Amino acid sequence: MASDQLLALLEYVQQNGRICPQPKAWDRLWKLLSKQARGSSELNDGQPPAPLILGAWWHTTGLDKMLRLREHMEWADAHGAIDIVDAYVRAIPEEDWFHGRD
């Protein structure tokens, strides 16, 4: 079950026509998640899926990008990193977001 913090963050990222962070900002988010995964004590915990930022991946649909960003936030919520992710995502400047109108 999703936490209230996750639900609020998911609502936040959809404001202003946002799709996902621009590649550099999204890469930093993914590195935060990966660091959390390396520090996990659970066996076979796995890594979060890679962001859709490199090469052809960046040319996927806006929906694909939105769904992958959601996966990252759900992963953070499930692995005790939602506070870190929430703070990072809310600090991303608006110009570092990819918007539906871009």
The domain limits of the chain are 4-13+21-39+48-94
Q: Are 96 and 24 in contact (CB under 8 A)?
A: yes
- What pLDDT is stored for residue 44 in this prediction? 44
If pLDDT is split at 50, 70 and 90, which confidence band does 102 have?
A: low
Q: What pTM was estimated for this model as a whole?
A: 0.88
Distances in whole angstroms, Cα of residue 18 to Cα of each of 9, 43, 45: 12, 35, 30
Q: What are phi and psi of 33, to 5 degrees?
A: -65, -45
Q: How far apart are the first and last CA of the chain?
A: 33
pLDDT in tens, 20-78: 999 999 999 999 998 887 665 553 457 888 899 987 777 899 999 999 999 999 999 99
- What pLDDT is stored for residue 49 in this prediction? 86
In the block, residue with structure tokens 């995502």: 89
- What pLDDT is stored for residue 45 in this prediction? 57
Tell me what the mean pLDDT of segment 3-24 comes to. 96
Tell me what the mean pLDDT of segment 67-96 comes to. 96
Using only C-alpha atoms, the chain has a radius of gyration, in whole angstroms, of 13
Is the model more confident about 27 or about 102?
27
Beta strand 18-21 pairing with 97-99: antiparallel
